[in-house]
Amino acid sequence: MDTISVNVLYLLWKKTNDRRQWPGLLQEWTRCRPDRARGLLLGEKPSPEEMAGVAKRSGVRLKVLRSNNILARDNVDVLSENVRFMINGLERGQKRAFALEIGVHPTTISKWLAGKIRPENPSQAAICRYFGFKVGVDLKVDPFFLSYSPVTITQRKRWLHEQIDGMTSKDLGDLFLALEKLLDGKSS
């Protein structure tokens, strides 16, 4: 993700960590169409007019928005925010199993969430494996907590469920055969 995209996502996150509100908020800031707001959230490059709108409505100077790493300026602990984002995305009761899987005591998870301690490198690698990240991902640098798209398996399942629940009967009927063919035999 480029600096501008990260900065825009960060400003949205500061306003609300409810990602469902981000498209509307970004539309309001940029005066763009809903599909364009979604594209911007997924990393499309904003136009100069859109950048000016974000700067004006977020209260951040355009020059700062374009060239500064606002997370670094605000001393955001990317590792802690990533860990909170991923762990809080687990289903109810799954934190204990997560702790056992990555080889830490469950109270360690609570300390991570509270920001009392930070995961050390071996735990960071275990977290990445647990959540299915590619080798080389750096939780201290890569701001997954700003991702508009679902990152964890639990988040992706929840997103799919919400999308299906929001479909009309006709749309679901039209899509069902393709989904059935695609997913048949995949769950076990």
pLDDT score, position 163: 87
CA count, 13 A, side-chain hemisphere, 24: 6
pLDDT tops 80 at residue 148: yes
Report the distance separating Cα 99 and Cα 116, nearest Å.
16
The 3-class SS string of the chain reads CCHHHHHHHHHHHHHCCCHHHHHHHHHHHHCCCHHHHHHHHCCCCCCHHHHHHHHHHHCCCHHHHHHCCHHHHCCCCHHHHHHHHHHHCCCCCHHHHHHHHHCCCHHHHHHHHHCCCCCCHHHHHHHHHHCCCCCCCCCCCCCHHHCCCCCCHHHHHHHHHHHHHCCCHHHHHHHHHHHHHHHCCCCC
pTM of the model: 0.83
pLDDT score, position 127: 94
State how far Cα 149 lies from the chain centre.
6
Report the distance separating Cα 11 and Cα 22, nearest Å.
10
pLDDT in tens, 62-115: 999 998 899 999 999 999 999 999 998 888 888 999 999 999 999 999 999 998
**Residue with more model confidence, 134 or 98:** 98
